[in-house]
Structure 1
């Protein structure tokens, strides 16, 4: 004896038949009550994919790039105001600004706008980063190098055309650049005034409903004596002023994009 209970053959057949009947009933019950099962509160609903973050490229020279801590302050201010669904993009990694922030960018020290166009650099940067919004602060090195305003505006136009070729819906924010008074360039201040005065009409000529251009005035209220450390590059008070000016311009664009989604 192995301790198991053995049933006579008829009993075993009866158990087999009853088991089959139970199985059929269970299957039929399952097929006829899908609504009740789907409504089971213990079942978690399928997750809804989150909206893709808006990709923002800060494009410029050393004022944008190194260390460019106005970008860090801007990011911090945006997070505090609830603009968290953003992704700053670019081939350049963040610099140290005293706290962690999303700091990828496309700021290249010493670069000229006309040099970016001559070397056809922007299409590659755009292909890698695929920005929805471009914040362009370019022209300081061109002015310093004596590039005429019409030539510089032509370069701006080429860059905007390349941005739209990469993304027809791109939003472009173009800065009227900071005042400058570098040693050895007595005419730089006047050249900046000339360029900045020409930017609004240039922007209006290229503006479109699909890909708007916003002019951002970094010049007004900025003092080279107190807001820079060398007559060109912003110091602590200068980066704070830059962040404060960029904030309403950028968040205004983000609000418009949110309404379209």
Structure 2
């Protein structure tokens, strides 16, 4: 059984009524992967905007493995201390990570965020020396259109993320850097300039799927 753990922020946990890109990727894996697989993690809920808390189970389609390690307003800073126990307890084989927008927007600059990426990797590997990872670069949101310093930090972090992936990649514990989702546009692939709409969910899922297919021949090309 191959065990995938989605790790992310509000774009990954999703909110009440949504499918989430986790669901879209699961649909792809369940069709294309030749062996048993599942999604794992210590959490299952969506974020409830009315309650301002991650307590909703109101998925648009609830019939899939809903487990994850994602949180509204959480970034590399928050996940680095949690990932070791999550990998250990959930026996994760592959981490699908989409983090960084929150860090750069509210907590840390590009260099500090990259340091937290390294801490995350160390903790994950301490829990499973053969864990594999796929990292999604930060997708610039609508703020980047009107806040040049923020846009610069996002671009700088994505450069550092690529360098960190290359530096820390190991044959026994590989790290893939996915490509930014093809043709992703904040005004058509999100519902508020940040969080993915249905088309955005498919494009994020495709970015992870294509990286794993091209590098590891895992599953097949993403068909949506």
Contact 2:85–2:127 at 8 Å: present in 1 too? no
> What is the correspondence of 1:80-119 to structure 2 with a 5 Å cutoff?
80-93=31-44, 95=57, 96-98=59-61, 100-117=63-80
Q: Distance in 1 between matches of 2:135 and 2:63?
A: 26
Paired with 1:105 and 1:83, the residues of 2 have a C-alpha distance of 22
Alignment of 1:128-143 (within 5 A): 128-143=89-104
Aligned positions, number: 203
- 1:10-25 equivalences under 5 Å are none
Residue 250 of structure 1: CA displacement? 3.2
Give the match for residue 153 of structure 2: 191
Query: By how many angstroms is 1:256 displaced?
Result: 6.5
Equivalent of residue 76 in structure 1, options 19, 27, 33 = 27
Classify the secondary structure of the residue corresponding to 1:224: coil
Which 5+ residue runs of structure 1 have no aligned equivalent? 1-52
Show CA shifts across 1:129-152 (max 9, x none). 120111111111011115211111
Structure 2 residues not aligned, in runs of 5+ = 46-56, 220-224
Aligned to 1:245: 207
8 A contact 1:90–1:129 mirrored in 2: yes
Query: Which whole-Å deviations, capped at 9, do the CAs of 1:158-200 have from their partners, x for residues lacking one?
Result: 1111111111111111111212123997243332222112221
After TM superposition, give the deviation of residue 59 of structure 1 in Å. 0.8
TM-score normalised by the chain length of structure 1: 0.71
Task: Select the structure of larger CA radius of gyration.
Answer: 1
Q: SS where residue 136 of structure 2 aligns?
A: strand
Is the Cα contact below 8 Å between 2:76 and 2:116 reproduced in 1?
A: yes
Q: Secondary structure at the match of 1:136?
A: strand
What TM-score, normalized by structure 2, do the two folds share? 0.81
Higher relative contact order (CA 8 A, sep 6+): 2
SS at match of 2:191: coil
Offset at residue 90 of structure 1 (A): 0.4
Q: Is the 8 A contact 2:33 2:218 kept in 1?
A: no
Q: Which has the higher helix share?
A: 1
